[in-house]
Amino acid sequence: MSYTRDSIKKFVQDNINSLIDDGVIAGRVIEQMVAKKNNWKNVGGNNFSYDHVDEDGNKIETKSTRSIQLDRYLRIGGMGNKKNCCDIMQIIDTISGREFRIPHDIFYKRARFDNNQFWWSCNYDTNIRSYVKSINTELLLEHEVLQ
């Protein structure tokens, strides 16, 4: 097997489903899609602690989720190392197609974490037993990007 551009393209075409199922690869593709959709500069993967820069110079970290946990929740991880590294936290729910943008200071003041993970209700119900997940769901709903 060679590693030329053409062989990589063929490999991607032949293995597209397993590549999309890989969270790291899917996350990078989503970052590219977000940048293109919003006409933002994409800087992810360049040792920055954020993924995009918008037209106003805001540093935006994009996180996405793509699987339901415990039959009723969504989550994103790796949140601790993002504190004080961006201006806006953007969360993409790839199951429902919903998108949220929360100013950094509001996000880290109000969000509740469980082992460095941010959890919320997959059906966006705020009347759930878990106080933490209810608070996080409310936070997202207040900052939903309406298409």
- Helices (H) and strands (E) counted in the chain, each on its own, are 5, 7
- The pLDDT of residue 127: 87
CB-count exposure of residue 143 (10 Å: 0-12, 13-18, 19+): middle
- The pLDDT of residue 84: 86
- The pLDDT of residue 2: 86
- The pLDDT of residue 47: 63
The low-confidence residues of the chain, meaning pLDDT below 50, are: none
